[in-house]
Amino acid sequence: MSTATEKPRQQLDEATVRFCGDSGDGMQLAGTQFTNTSALAGNDVATFPDFPAEIRAPRGTKAGVSGFQIHFSSRDIYTPGDTVDALVAMNPAALITNIGDLRDGGILVCNESAFDKKGLEQAGYASNPLEDGSLEQSYKLHKVDMTKLTRLAVEGLGLSQKEADRCRNFFAMGLVFWLYDRSLDPTLRFIDAKFGKNPDVAEANRRALKAGYNYGETVEAISTQYHVGKADLTPGTYRNIMGNTALAWGLVTAAHLSKRRLFLGAYPITPASDILHELAKLKNFDVLTFQAEDEIAAVTATIGASFAGEMAVTASSGPGIALKGEALGLAVMTELPMIVINVQRGGPSTGLPTKTEQADLFQAMYGRNGECPMPVIAASSPADCFEVAQEAWRIAVEHMIPVFLLTDGYIANGSEPWRIPDVGSLPRTEVKYAEPLSNGDVFHPYERNERLARPWARPGTPTLMHRVGGLEKQDITGNVSYDPANHQHMIETRARKVELIADHIPLQEVDGPESGDLLVVSWGGPYGSCATAVHTALAAGKSVAHCHLRYLNPFPKNFEQILRSYKKVLVPELNCGQLLTILRSKFDIPLVGLNKVQGKPFQVGEILDRIHAELEG
Amino acid sequence: MSTDALPVLKPTDFASDQDVRWCPGCGDYAILAQMKKVLPSLGVPREKIVFISGIGCSSRFPYYMNTYGMHSIHGRAPAVASGLKTVRPDLQVWVITGDGDGLSIGGNHLMHAIRRNMDLNIILFNNRIYGLTKGQYSPTSLLGAKTKSSPMGAIDNPLNPLSIVVGAEGTFVARTIDTNLKHMGKVMERAAAHSGTSFIEVYQNCHVFNDGAWNYAKERDEKEDNVLELEHGKPMIFGKNRDKGIRLNGLEPEVVELGKGISEDDLLFHDERATEPSLAYLLTRMRHQDGFPEPIGVFRAVESPQYDDLINRQIEQAIGTQGPGDLEKLFHSGDTWTVS
Ligand SMILES: Cc1ncc(C[n+]2csc(CCOP(=O)(O)OP(=O)(O)O)c2C)c(N)n1
Ligand code: SF4
């Protein structure tokens, strides 16, 4: 920011900020704006939005608290941070539920006016923590009457009090922007774009934002400004991207480069709906989004679109995937290419709809009737979703098979800087349909190539008329067959077909030494925490390495050998040990799990502590 | 498609090489035969035709047709067909379903497929019984029907398939009978010609588990008194001697005898193109057990926007206003920054 400030400015390597307040307080917006601004300032960023399942729980209650955490750094980072350096609490409920994560000596900004009798009671405070001196002992407390200051800032615009109060989050943003020396420009641009049609509201938000910023600059109680420098990122053009957006864009990219229409069959469900929302915006890419009547219709329509010869995808979360189970058996039987996305959330049943978990791995691996294996791959970070979507399509087409793609709420809603790829360098999956036959030849829809893939015969192609379905098929001809030997042969063939994919995926890489005392094996969202923990342990001279799996079925061919190269293997997962159980069933190797099912991602410290314990034990 | 004249196809060209495995005497045979007869007259090449079915005896249908086809899962055929038709509006798509498949497990999909009004042709084989699972009562079995799963008589109130179709905003609603081949053929042709979802209920005999269920509508000496053949613009007359008609009394239909002061002009005239579906609905409510002749033919045939058309038009429109999708542009939309 160009404004000269007389206050001292302290350089930091990194910082973690959390905005928290009532779900009506606009905390997700504040967090997103701060994230984009930090990314634009050249930081590496990682975010963790955390919101309640209720859209509007009673105002001021603990159930209604919504938070957004941003970790920004001048170094490479992989997680949104374990503890928070600065916490903005818009009300007592937000304070009481979040204060535990603020580090000792951290900055605490509280909206003083919300700490009235009712607010304190709702949060369960016996006395006002802003007044009893308890907070000052551990934190740098700033009591700011944001409500009053915001109302003053927007005075004269003719806004109602309610409308004026709605600008409070911009005041809070302005203050934090000053605190961390961030430019207001991106947010001012955002205000123009978002509220341009409503000039008074736009002006009010601008004023509130600037008032917050100026407050930081002028108020004496806030003595220091902080600055986190640019990260040393690989040269290129970057943007900040959320997991679900990256996934949607990866799908569009795959379809576009394959010159296929993209069909998404979906039924709204948290946290997968944003994939539908993103794709619905991209109609000019020849994307057809079909909001079905339920998940069964979504997946069966997807099967129909795949049979029609286009790129077909269905996206949901655990409960929806459960409904799709029977149809996925049909997809496996018909050996049609498609992608099935599960953005996992806390289960079982409705579980914790807005929280993250990795407990649907068994569902993806085994959740269908009969012997019904499917390839399974998983994304490791928001930006990785872009690549994984394209890889899922490659496998689906090259092996004529439905592919399970797993992400989770943490990846889906989290964001990080994404180096925009050169379109020309992106992998292209070539779609080859079966060609019409010359006179008299008979088409064999279940004839297989060396990958055991059958031909994709597009309706409309003369001479290739054929019927598929859920009844067991005779190999080669595809005719219905009840023959016992054929059934066994087909079951083995479908299993073998999945196994053969291992010949066509990259070998597994390991981060750290090729052998040693401890290997950390992870998949999905915990990638960042595990990578950071292993890097920290390595820096401390420990004999530890990290193996993060993208391919869960089949495993890369060298995976077993990797597992055997370490004295101990630790498998951290946000479930009760699902990958662990699969590994135990496949490999006769001692393994230990680190399991957490609290609807929250792993903290780096949790993994690191366990690494130390395993190395000592 | 080229402008060259299409090769003239025969019904046998539409037969696949699979043995038909329905029970001897099953009404499904007649429907299959009639379909093979009608298709060559439509001028659509075989490779452009797709049959999608659910599960049930009737749903084996696609295996017997030398076209593209899918025997999907129980109740879901309308959804499979919807995905297919959405991405490939150029195909002619037929959906084959049964009273259990379409109205019980698949009721939801049927309702939504109909309201979307995609250009699908749905045929529901109504035999008032679950055939494939060997004789349980179905959503169209009559109250009191004694079946394997209702030894003391069914106590579920039956559904009127066509009432549901009209209620779900069906734009083409028709009924025919498996033994009335000519009529069936005509109705199929009309359904194929209709743009939007066409729905045909076929009274189909399950010879093994519910034989004779539709005899009142089929037997030579009864049928004319029990069936009303609908004709657009014509008065609703029926009966062996064509001396009975349907008149509207307030909001209720009633059977009247012609003569004795009642002339044709007093009768209801059929209007399949009525924008309001009230007449069509009223016709679907006329049941044999309530003393009415049951209408066959086209109850309703109206035009209405089609999902398959609209979604593809939205795409054209988006391309028109935003230009064809450009990945480079997409990736760089919004805020970006450069690290050098
Ligand atoms: C998910 C599922 N549930 C149950 C069944 C068993 N099932 C197969 S066909 C059928 C009923 C078929 O009745 P209908 O649709 O009337 O067809 P019909 O056999 O009479 O032609 C049932 C219950 C199944 N195949 N799948
Ligand atoms: S059981 Fe009934 S419906 Fe099924 S094939 Fe036999 S006669 Fe036809």
User: A484-515 as b/e, with b when 16 or more CB fall inside 10 Å?
Assistant: eeeeeebeeebeebbeebbeebeebebebeee
Per-position DSSP letters for A133-197, written without gaps between them: STTTTTSEEEEE-HHHHHHHHHTTS---HHHHHTTHHHHHHHHHHHHTT--SHHHHHHHHHHHTT
Strand partners, B228: B295
Distance B73 CA to ligand 1 centre (A): 9
Partner A, chain B 20-49, Cβ-Cβ below 8 Å: 45-48
With CA atoms as reference, the chain A residue closest to B113 would be A293
Q: Give B207 Cα–ligand 2 centroid separation in angstroms.
A: 6
Cβ of B327 within 8 Å of Cβ of A301? The answer is: no
Q: Please compute, for residue A98, the number of CA atoms within 13 A of its CA located in the half-sphere on the CB side.
A: 33
State in Å: Cα B113 to ligand 2 middle: 26
Q: For the segment B285-312, what is each residue's pLDDT rounded down to a tens digit?
A: 999 999 999 999 999 999 999 999 999 9
Residues 6+ apart with CB under 8 A from A246: A382, A383, A384, A385, A386, A389, A418
Sheet with A592-595: list strands edge to edge. Answer: A544-549, A516-523, A566-573, A592-595
Element (H or E) spanning A77, and its range? none
Q: Which atom of ligand 2 is nearest to the CA of B207?
A: 7
Q: Which residues contact B244 (CB under 8 A, 6 or more apart)?
A: B225, B237, B238, B255, B256, B257, B258, B293
Tokens, residue B202: 């076929």
Pocket test for ligand 2, best of B19, B21, B28 (most atoms within 8 A of CB): B28
Which residue carries 């030849």 as its tokens?
A: A441
What residues contact B37, with CB distance under 8 A and at least 6 apart? B11, B185
Coil, helix or strand at residue A529: helix
Looking at residue B145, its amino acid is: A
Of B79, B207, B106, B124, residue with least CA distance to A297: B79
The Cα B111–Cα B107 span in angstroms is 6
**Amino acid, single-letter form, for residue A611:** I
Interface contact flag, A300 B73, Cβ < 8 Å = yes
For residue A306, which residues of chain B lie inside 8 Å, CB to CB? Answer: 83
Taking the mean position of all CA atoms in its chain, how far away is CA A18? 18
Statement: the pTM of the whole predicted model exceeds 0.90: yes
Task: Please tell me the distance from the alpha carbon of residue A310 to that of residue A259, in angstroms, as a whole number.
Answer: 9
Cα of B58 from ligand 2 centre, angstroms = 8
- Among the listed ranges A68-72, A253-257, A439-443, B82-86, which one has the minimum average pLDDT value? A439-443
Please determine, for residue A448, whether its predicted confidence score (pLDDT) is greater than 50: yes
Residue contact B87–A305, C-beta within 8 A: yes
Compute the distance between CA of residue A287 and CA of residue A256 in angstroms, rounded to an integer.
9
Give the per-residue pLDDT at A1: 44
Note whether A471 contacts B71, CB cutoff 8 Å.
Answer: yes
> Is B81 part of the contact surface with chain A (CB cutoff 8 Å)?
yes
φ, ψ for residue B192 (rounded to 5)? -65, -35
B327/A252 touch (CB, cutoff 8 Å), yes or no = yes
Q: Which ligand is the nearest neighbour of the Cα of B26?
A: 2
Cis omega (within 30 of 0) for bond into A554:
yes
Whose alpha carbon is nearest atom 6 of ligand 2? B23
> Measured between beta carbons, which residues in chain A are less than 8 angstroms from residue B70?
303-304, 307, 334, 467-469
Q: Which residues of A touch B81 (CB under 8 A)?
A: 304
| Pocket-forming residues, ligand 1, beta carbon under 6 Å | A 326; B 55-58, 74, 98-101, 125, 127, 129-133, 138
Distance B325 CA to ligand 2 centre (A): 51
The yes-or-no verdict on residue A145 having pLDDT over 90 is yes
Show residues of chain A in contact with B47, CB under 8 Å: 459-465
CA distance A521 to A566: 11
Residue B69 near residue B35, CB atoms below 8 Å: no
A465 contacts in B (CB within 8 Å)? 46-47, 66-68
Among B27, B28, B42, which residue's Cα sits nearest to residue B186? Answer: B42
Under DSSP, is residue A328 helix (H, G, I), strand (E, B) or coil?
helix
Query: Yes or no: is domain B11-213 CATH 3.40.50.970?
Result: yes
Ligand nearest to the CA of B20: 2
What's the half-sphere exposure (Cβ side, CA atoms, 13 Å) at B312? 15
- Predicted confidence band of residue A223 (pLDDT cuts 50, 70, 90): confident
- Number of residues assigned to chain B: 340
Greatest alpha-carbon pair distance for chain B in Å reads 98
Contact B231, B186 (CB under 8 A): no
- In chain A, the domains with their CATH numbers are 9-228 (3.40.920.10), 236-504 (3.40.50.970), 516-616 (3.40.50.920)
Q: With a cut of 60, say whether residue A75 has pLDDT above it.
A: yes
Q: Are A470 and B73 inside 8 Å of each other by CB?
A: yes
| Residue having the nearest C-alpha atom to atom 2 of ligand 2 | B206
**pLDDT for B2:** 46
- What are the residue ranges spanned by the domains of chain B? 11-213
Question: For B36-135, where are the E strands, in sequence order?
Answer: 49-53, 68-71, 92-98, 120-126
As a whole-number percent, the residues of chain B with pLDDT over 90 amount to 96
Give residue A265's pLDDT.
Answer: 98
Q: Which atom of ligand 1 is nearest to the CA of B126?
A: 16
DSSP H or E segment with residue B175 = strand B172-177
Is the C-alpha dihedral spanning B39, B40, B41, B47 positive or negative? positive
Mutant choice from B32, B52, B73, B104 vs A, greatest count of A C-beta within 10 A: B73
- Reduced 3-state DSSP string for B263-322: CHHHCCECCCCCCCCHHHHHHHCCCHHHCCCEEEEEEEECCCCCHHHHHHHHHHHHHHHH
* Per-residue model confidence as pLDDT tens digits over B19-28: 999 999 999 9
Which candidate, A498, A227, A275, A293, places its Cα nearest to that of A375? A498
* Confidence at residue B4, expressed as pLDDT on a 0 to 100 scale: 55
- Would you place residue A578 in the very low, low, confident or very high pLDDT band (cuts 50, 70, 90)? very high
Residue A314 confidence (pLDDT) = 98
- Locate the chain B residue with the closest alpha carbon to A479: B18
Mean residue pLDDT across chain A: 96
Averaged pLDDT for residues B8-21: 94
Q: Do B76 and A297 touch (CB under 8 A)?
A: yes
Cα–Cα dist A89/A550, whole Å: 38
Task: Give which of B288, B281, B279 is closest to B219, Cα–Cα.
Answer: B288
Residue A271 · residue A347 · CB < 8 Å: no
Which pLDDT score, from 0 to 100, does residue B5 have?
60
Query: What's chain B's Rg over C-alpha atoms?
Result: 23
**What is the CA angle A343-A345-A351, rounded to 5?**
145
pLDDT at position A282: 98
Model pLDDT, residue B177: 98
Average pLDDT of B165-174? 98
Please classify residue B220 by burial: count the beta carbons closer than 10 Å to its beta carbon, then call 0-12 exposed, 13-18 middle and 19+ buried: exposed
The tokens describing B224, both together, are 């004319």
Q: Taking the mean position of all CA atoms in its chain, how far away is CA A118?
A: 37
Nearest-CA residue of chain B relative to A41? B337
pLDDT band at A19 (very low <50, low <70, confident <90, very high): very high
Q: How far apart are CA A87 and CA A110, in angstroms?
A: 8
For the CA atoms of B302, B305, B307, B310, the dihedral, rounded to the nearest 10 degrees, stands at: 150
A331 CB-near residues (< 8 Å, 6+ apart): A299, A303, A306, A338, A340, A402
- Please give the Cα distance from A364 to A369 (Å, whole number): 12
Residue whose C-alpha is closest to residue A305's, from B44, B72, B67: B72
Residue A615 CA from chain centroid, whole number: 31
Cβ contacts of B7 on chain A, cutoff 8 Å: none
For residue A52, give the DSSP letter.
Answer: -
Q: Residue B1's pLDDT is what?
A: 44
Burial of A11 (0-12, 13-18, 19+ CB in 10 A): exposed
Phi, psi for residue A230 in degrees, rounded to 5: -65, 145
Preceding omega of B158 cis (within 30 degrees of 0): no
- Cα A560 to Cα A374, A572, B84: the distances in Å are 20, 18, 42
Residue in A with minimal Cα distance to B50 = A459
Structure tokens at A539: 């820096």
Residue A463 scores a pLDDT above 90: yes
**Residues flanking ligand 2, CB < 6 Å:** B 22-23, 26, 28, 57, 127, 131, 206-209
Judged against a pLDDT cut of 90, whether residue B8 lies above it is answered with no
Could you give the percent of chain A with pLDDT greater than 70? Answer: 99
Residue A350 in contact with residue A276, Cβ under 8 Å? no
pLDDT of residue A244: 98
Query: By the CB < 8 Å criterion, does B97 face chain A?
Result: no
Residue range B304-323: average pLDDT? 98
pLDDT at position A562 is: 98
* B265 CB within 8 Å of a chain A CB: no
- Of B338 and A501, more confident: A501
Q: Judge whether B105 is closer than 8 Å to chain A, CB to CB.
A: no
Amino acid (1-letter code) at residue B171: T
Kindly tell me if the per-residue pLDDT of A5 is higher than 70: no
CA of B154 to the centre of ligand 2 (A): 20
Q: Which ligand is nearest to the CA of B27?
A: 2
Per-residue pLDDT of A473-506, as tens digits, reads 999 999 999 999 999 999 999 999 999 999 999 9
Q: What local confidence, expressed as pLDDT, does residue B6 receive?
A: 61
Q: What element of type H or E holds A313?
A: strand A311-316
Residue B87 near chain A (CB below 8 Å): yes
User: What pLDDT, on a 0 to 100 scale, did the predictor assign at position A2?
Assistant: 45
Q: How distant, in Å, are the alpha carbons of A219, A460, B183 from that of B246? A: 88, 46, 21
Separation CA B112–CA B160 (nearest Å): 17
Which structure tokens are listed for A375? 């390839």
Measured in angstroms, the CA of B113 and the nearest CA of chain A are apart by 9
Residue whose structure tokens are 């250009």: B119
Which residue type is seen at B252? E
- Closest-CA distance, A233 to chain B, in angstroms, reads 7
Give A480→chain B minimum CA distance, Å.
Answer: 9
Tell which wins on pLDDT, A552 or A4.
Answer: A552
H/E segment holding residue B140:
none
